[in-house]
A and B are shown apart, each in its own frame.
Chain A
Amino acid sequence: MKTPPEDTELLRWLDDEMTPLERERFAARLTVEPALRREAESLQALRRTLREHLPQEMAVPHADFFNSQIQVRLAREVPARRGSGPSWLAYLRLPRLAAAAALVLLAVLVLRPDSGVDSRVLATYTPDPEVHATTHFSEAAGATVLLLDGLEEMPAERPLVGFRQGAADQQLFSVHQQNAGSAPPATAKDETATLTANASRE
């Protein structure tokens, strides 16, 4: 796909890619060619509009969470960085950093032990500031619990529609249908099963 030659000139003028001499010549053309001038003005207006509405910098949604997630991922990679470049251990020679590192280590080892067997919650973020998330590992339940407090109650009169879904591919597409606002998938059924904490309750 080639750019028509007459437009190449206009393009280079618009994008400030001309030498001073070329620019001068083109400016002279603009004074005597009304159609070319109209096109040049239109393209300049387009540029102004684009720059006004497509900012070079934007506020990152949930910026703190953005950073904290990166930190979580970096923490997993730090051991792999040992031996490359200057040693990060050098920073531990600074007493404050060493103390901070010890605290972090303590937190990792004591407060959030990773048994390698149990599930763990590494980081949470709630977009609604009214909602608070807390997490703990329940030994009795053998499960990790993430509690959300401050959520708006589901209206009592609202019926909840449950599905029984098994086949993965089928489900993926049934989810689309739902998301697109269509009727629940044909495979979904309104069945419920009951679990009771009976004698086996711990």
Chain B
Amino acid sequence: MPVSSAPEPGEVPDHDLVRRSQAGDSRAFDLLVTRYRGRIYAMTYHMIQNETEAWDLAQEAFIKAWRALPRFKMDSAFYTWLYRIAHNVTYDWLRKKRIQGEGEFDDERTEHRVAAGAETAPRGADAPDEALRNAELGGRIRAAMGQLSEDHRQVIVMREIEGLSYEEIAAAVPCSLGTVMSRLFYARKKLQELLKDTYENAA
């Protein structure tokens, strides 16, 4: 599981903030939110590829963590524990979305179409070539990730971004080691197929 990024020297260690949060100190919890919101948001964003929903899910993960804090025994790093909660929140959301998608009720509706570019429009049309190329490549990679199935995207995020081992992925999903390897294999094949020209040209 991902380990906690060590606080900077002089910062209050996680376990102190966790203890204070467990005692009901929401300001201590606010510091934990500030410390880990960027990583949790990155995970939810890579998984569901939508800024607004990822933002809401990251919040939901912190709220759920707050509720579960009294049961947290500090037998793992706080971030590891938080990551697991965020992963479950995201996966539950994806599952629910998939179930809804099977009906006729269109839940891909509304905001994302309205919001396209609303608050995330790339700024600076005069960006240098390098930055522009990077932005284009980033866009292609996100689009390719979007074409993976949720199961495949999940293992790619866990392995390539969070750096989880096969065993950790298997425990988190949960599934067998063979399934982890199989999903990684096919996910990479698909990404290779979609991106090969991009990264080979960039190299």
Most B-side CB within 10 Å, residue of A45, A51, A54, A90: A54
Q: How far is the CB of B97 from chain A (nearest CB, A)?
A: 17
Given A54-B161, A66-B58, residue A85 in contact with residue B66 (CB < 8 A): no
Contact of B185 among A11, A74, A75 (CB under 8 A): A11
CB distance from B17 to the nearest CB of A (A): 14
Size class of B's contact patch? 35 or more
Out of A7, A42, A61, A62, which one reaches B196, CB within 8 Å?
A42
**How many contacts between A and B, using CB within 8 angstroms?**
153
The minimal Cβ–Cβ distance linking B62 to chain A, given in whole angstroms, is 5
Closest to B159 in A: A15
B161 touches A49 (CB 8 A): no
Shortest Cβ distance from residue A9 to the other chain B in the assembled complex, whole angstroms: 11
Would you call A67 and B182 a contact (CB within 8 A)?
A: no
B127 to chain A, nearest CB (A): 16
Residues of B62-119 at the interface with A, using a CB-CB cut-off of 8 Å, are 62-63, 66-67, 69-70, 106, 109-110, 113-114, 119
Q: Which residues of B contact A2 (CB under 8 A)?
A: 178, 182
Q: Mark A32-54, 1 if CB is under 8 A from B, else 0.
A: 00000000001101111111011
Give the 7 A-B CB pairs with smallest separation, nearest first: A88-B24, A58-B42, A49-B199, A57-B38, A179-B113, A84-B70, A3-B185
A-side residues, CB < 8 A to B, are 1-4, 7-8, 11-12, 15, 17, 42-43, 45-51, 53-63, 66-67, 69-71, 73-75, 77-78, 81-82, 84-88, 90-91, 127, 172-173, 175-176, 179-180
